Structure 1
Amino acid sequence: MNPDSSLPQLGQWQGFEDVQRLQEKQLPQTVSWAANSPFYRSRLNPANLPTSISDLASLPLTTKQDLRDNYPWGMLAVPKERLATYHESSGTAGQPTPSYYTSEDWVDLAERFARKWIGFSESDIFLVRTPYALMLTGHLAHAAGRLRGATVVPGDNRSLAMPYARVVRVLHDLGVTLTWAVATEYLLWAAAAAAAGHRPGSDFPALRALFTGGEPLTDVRRQRISRIWGVPVIEEYGSTETGSLAGECPDGRLHLWADRALFEVYDPKTGTVRSEGEGQLVVTPLFREAMPLLRYNLEDDVSVSYRDCACGWNLPTVRVFGRAAFGYRVGSTTVAQHQLEELVFALPDSYGVLFWRARVEPDRLRVEIEVSQEHREAARAELAASVRSVIGVDAEVVGLPPGSLVPAAVLTSMPDVVKPRSLFGPDEDWDKALLYY
C-alpha cells in the first residue's frame, strides 16, 4: 500500500468551491466504474451516464435493502480476481450486507482513517480493539496504522483470547500510545484497570489518545472518558459499506471527507434532498472501484453544515445522531438514549457511576445504575430529579452495587483458550476435546 498516493490530501484546497471541483472531476470515473456492476447496469443508461453532481441527482437512492437483495456479488464492478477483501456489516436485519474492496480501494480507505489530527507515527503502539471478523472496522484501523508505520496490536473484541484483563495488561506492559474501540469499551477498560490495581489516569503514561467510533457518543460521556484516562477522545464516523466518512479536527468538530465522497441529506418525510441540514446521510464514495455506490442512503440521522471551522480544513461538518435519535414513548413523552446518557454522566465523577441501563414501558421508566453504597442514595435522588426536570418523566432510579451490571468476573477473568486436541492423558479433562475456543 503506497502512502504517497495521488488521492486528494488535506490542505490541497482553499475552500468549499475547490472541494466541489475535486468532486466534479472524479465523478465521471466513479459513475463509469458503477456501470460495470450488474445492479447499476440496470439503472444507468450507458449512452447517457451522469457526468455532474446535478446529473447524479436524477438517480434514485441506493438503499441497504438493495445491497442485501444483491448479495453476494450483484454490486461487484471488477473481476473477482482483483478483490483484496470481502466484508459484511454488523446490521441486525437478518440478511447479509456485503462489501468488497480492491487493493487500490484500500489505499483510499486507510488514508481516510489515518487523518487523525493527533497523528500516527513509527513510534506509536496502536491497540485495535474492534471486531476483525467480516466487519471492516478492525482491518481498517490496522491498515491505517501500518500505513503510517505504527506497531499494531490486533486486539479484536469478539475473541476469548483477548479478555479485559489481558487488554489492561497489554495497555500497561506494552506502553500502548493509541487505541481504537467503541466508547463503552473505554469505561470497561477503566473498571478492569481498577480491578487490577491500576489507576487509569496515571498508570498508563504512554497513552496519547483514544480513538472511538461505532456508537453514538454524547459530549458529556466523551468528557468523562477523557477525564478518566487523562487523554483526548477522538471521534470517527463511517461504516463497513463505505469506510471512514468523517473525522474529528483539533477544534473538536467532525468533518466529512468531502474530497473523497459526495454527501447529501435526505428528508424521508418529504423525499427532498439537500446539501446540508438535518436528515439521513446519503453518500457517493468517489474512489471506490470494486463496489461503487451512487447516492447510498446510510439511514443515519445527521445534521450537515458548511459553516467555516477554525481548523481551516474547509470541509463540511456533521453531527451524527444515528440510532440515538430513536426513542420510546413513556406516556406522552419520547425518551431517547442520548438524553439519559447525558444525565447519567452529568452525575459527579466522585460517585463513580460508569454503567447503567434503562427500560421504557408505556407508563413508567426504570433506570439502574451501578454505584457504591456511600453515594447510592445521592446518585439515585439526583438522577431521578434531573430526568424529571429535563425529560419530563418520573423515573424509578435504582442504585445497584458495583458488579451487578458488569460482573467482576468479566473484568478480571482469563478464560482458557483451548486448541483442537483429541488425545488426552489419564489425569486430563478430555471433555475439552470438542471445545474449539
Structure 2
Amino acid sequence: MTDTPVTFPQLGDWSSREQLTALQDKQLPRLLEWASRAPFYRSRFDAAGVRPGDRAGLAALPLVSKQELRDSYPFGLLAVAKERLATYHESSGTAGTPTPSYYTEEDWVDLAERYARKWVGITPSDVFLVRTPYALMITGHLAQAAARSKGATVVPGDNRSLAMPYSRVVRVLHDLGVSLSWSMPTETLLWAAAARAAGWDPGRDFPHLRALFVGGEPLSTARRRRISEIWGVPVVEEYGSTETGSLAGECPEGRLHLWADRAIFEVHDPATGEVRPEGSGQLVVTPLYREAMPLLRYNLEDDVEISWTDCACGWELPVVRVLGRSAFGHRVGTARITQHRLEELVFELPLEHQVLFWRARAEPDRLRIEIEVPDEHREAACGHLTEAVRKEWGIAPDVAPVPPGTFVPHEVLTAVHDVVKPRTLFGADEDWGKALLYY
C-alpha cells in the first residue's frame, strides 16, 4: 500500500453512527498496513491465520496488554524508521519496566487536534498555563502542542520541578493574566489555598481566567462543582493516557464523549473474556492514526461504561463514564466505602465551611475521616459529614477536625525555592555543601 497524506476527520463530518463507522472503516486498512511493518504484529497476523484488511481481521486479533507493551520496551512495536520519530515517552504509572510510547510528527498532528477539542475553545488571545509533568510523560507536551496549534501563549509550568512552587504558580496566574490551565483537579485546590495565603481571592482576583482544564485523576461531581465555585469558571474534564493521547473530551452539556472518529473503542469483560462495542468493563482502544507505534485492541484496563445516547451537543459520539477507582472500595463492617462516593460527601459540605483537604482510613470496624477546617466551622462541618456518612452507609464514622495546614503545610503554599545552577567555587561566607546540587 502506498501511503497518501492523511486527512483527519473533524467534528461535524458525520451525522450518524453509521457514517462514523464508515469513517473508521475507511482508515482501518491503512492502520493495519502500518501495523504489519512491526514484527510484534506480523507474528500476530500469522498466528491469527488472516491477512487483516478490515474490521473482521481486527476482531480476529487478541487484545494487547500493558505487560506486552512493557515486554516490548523500548522499540519492539516500532513500525517506522527511527529517523521519523519526533518524541519518546513513558507512562507515569509504571513500576519496574517502563511502558514506552513514541510518535512521529504526523502522529502529533492527530494528538494535538484531539486534545484541542475543548468546548471552551483555545484561541490566540489565551495565556495557557500547563501545570502537568513534562518529563517522559506525554501530558505536558500534549497540552503545549495543542495550545500552540491554536496560537495561544504557553506558560510551561510543569509540576515536578522545584522551579515552580505554588507561590510562583499563583503569581503567574495573577500577573500574566492566565486564561486557561491544564492540571490535575487537586492542583486547582492547592492553587486556591496558595492564592489565599498570598492575600488573593481566587474568585475575584484572577479576572482573565476562563476555564480550568483537568484530567489525570478521578473527579467526583461534587468536587468538580466546588472547584468551579471557588474559581468562578467552568471545570472542563479530559480523559486519555500517555500511550494513546486524548481519548475523550467534555461537550458543552457536561458529558465525556469518546473520540470515535479517531479510534475504535471496545469494552472487555475480564470475567468472561467477552468484548463488546458498548457496556461496562475495561476500555480497549485502537487509535486509527497512530503510525509510529500502532496499538491494535490495546486494553487500557481502565473500568468504564460506554453508551450511545442522544446528547444535545450534536457530536454523535459515544458517551463514556470513567469509573476508575470508583469501582474499588474498602469494607467497614458490612458497608463498602469507595473514594469516589466519600469524596462526593466531603465536597457536598457547604462552601462556607472552607473544607478543601481531607483524608480517610477504612478499618474493619470503623471509618476514620479527618478534614482541614477553620475553628469557627469545625462543629458544623463535622456534624454535617457524620450525618451524611451515616445516611449513605448506615455507619457512624469518626470525623475529626484538624487545623488548616495539617495536610498541606503553609510553607508548601508560600515557599520560594532557591533554584541555582551547579557551582564548584564558593566564597568564604558561602555554603559549599550544595556544590553540585541543582536546588
Q: Same fold (TM over 0.5)?
A: yes
- Structure 2 gaps of 5+ residues are none
Counterpart position of 1:205: 207
Q: 1 CA distance for matches of 2:54 and 2:83?
A: 31
Displacement of 1:333 = 2.1
Q: Distance between the aligned counterparts of 1:311 and 1:5, measured in 2?
A: 27
Counterparts in 2 of 1:34-433, with a 5 A limit?
A: 34-45=35-46, 48-433=50-435
CA deviation map 1:373-407 (0-9, x unaligned):
11112111211121121123332111100000110
Query: Aligned partners of 1:60 and 1:9: how far apart in 2?
Result: 30
Q: CA deviation at 1:310?
A: 0.4
Q: Deviations along 1:171-198, whole A, 9 cap, x unmatched?
A: 0000000000000000000000000000
How far apart are the structure 2 equivalents of 1:100 and 1:294?
A: 15
The equivalent residue for 1:31 is 32
TM-score by length of 1: 0.97
Deviation at 1:414, TM superposition (A): 0.5
Q: Deviations over 1:285-343 (max 9, x none)?
A: 00000000000011111111111110000111101111232112222222111011000
Q: Which amino acid aligns with 1:37?
A: A
2:371 maps to a residue whose letter is I
Structure 1 residue 28 displacement after superposition: 0.9
Q: Could you tell me how far apart the structure 2 residues matched to 1:188 and 1:14 are?
A: 42
Alpha-carbon distance in 2 for matches of 1:292, 1:322: 25
Tell me whether 130-139 or 320-329 shows the greater mean CA deviation: 320-329
Q: What do you get for the CA RMSD once the two structures are aligned?
A: 1.3
Q: Deviations over 1:182-230 (max 9, x none)?
A: 0000000000000000000010000000000100111111111001000
Check conservation: 1:418, 1:432, Cα contact below 8 A: no
Within 2, Cα distance between the matches of 1:378 and 1:59? 57
Three-state SS of the structure 2 residue aligned to 1:44 is helix
Paired with 1:324 and 1:50, the residues of 2 have a C-alpha distance of: 37
Contact in 2 for aligned 1:5/1:107 (Cα 8 Å): no
Residue deviations 1:240-263 (CA, integer Å, cap 9, x gap):
000000000011101100000000
Q: Deviations over 1:86-107 (max 9, x none)?
A: 0000114332100000010000
CA distance in 2, matches of 1:55, 1:208: 46
Give me the whole-angstrom Cα distance separating, in 1, the residues matched to 2:395 and 2:145.
Answer: 46
Aligned equivalent of 1:14: 15
What letter corresponds to residue 418 of structure 1 in structure 2?
V
Alpha-carbon distance between aligned partners in 1 of 2:395 and 2:41, rounded to the nearest angstrom = 49
> Residue deviations 1:127-155, cap 9 Å, x none?
00000000000000000000000000000
Please give the secondary structure, in 2, of the residue aligned with 1:422.
coil
* Alignment gaps of 5+ in structure 1: none
Question: Secondary structure of the equivalent of 1:200?
Answer: coil
Q: In percent, how many aligned pairs have the same letter?
A: 70
Q: How many residues align?
A: 434
Counterpart Cα distance in 2 of 1:170 and 1:200:
13
C-alpha distance in 1 between matches for 2:15 and 2:180 = 31
Q: TM-score, normalised by structure 2?
A: 0.97
CA distance in 1, matches of 2:381, 2:137: 38
> What amino acid sits opposite 2:239 in the alignment?
Y
Q: Which moved more, 1:302-311 or 1:138-147?
A: 302-311
Measure the CA separation in 1 of the matches of 2:297 and 2:82: 24
The answer to whether the 8 A contact 2:327-2:338 is kept is yes
Indicate if the aligned counterparts of 2:325 and 2:340 stay in contact, CA closer than 8 A: no
Alpha-carbon separation, structure 1, partners of 2:35 and 2:332: 46
How far apart are residue 5 of structure 1 and its match? 7.2
Post-superposition offset of 1:277: 1.0
C-alpha separation in 2, matches of 1:92 and 1:82: 26
CA distance in 2, matches of 1:16, 1:393: 46
* DSSP-derived class of the 1:42 partner: helix
The one-letter amino acid paired with 1:10 is L
* Aligned equivalents of 1:363, 1:58: Cα separation in 2: 49
Q: Report SS of the residue matched to 1:186.
A: helix
- Partner Cα distance (1:357, 1:96) in 2: 30
Aligned residue type for 1:63: S
DSSP-derived class of the 2:237 partner = strand
Displaced runs of 4 or more, over 4 A: none
Shift of 1:269: 1.3
* 1:53 positional shift: 2.2
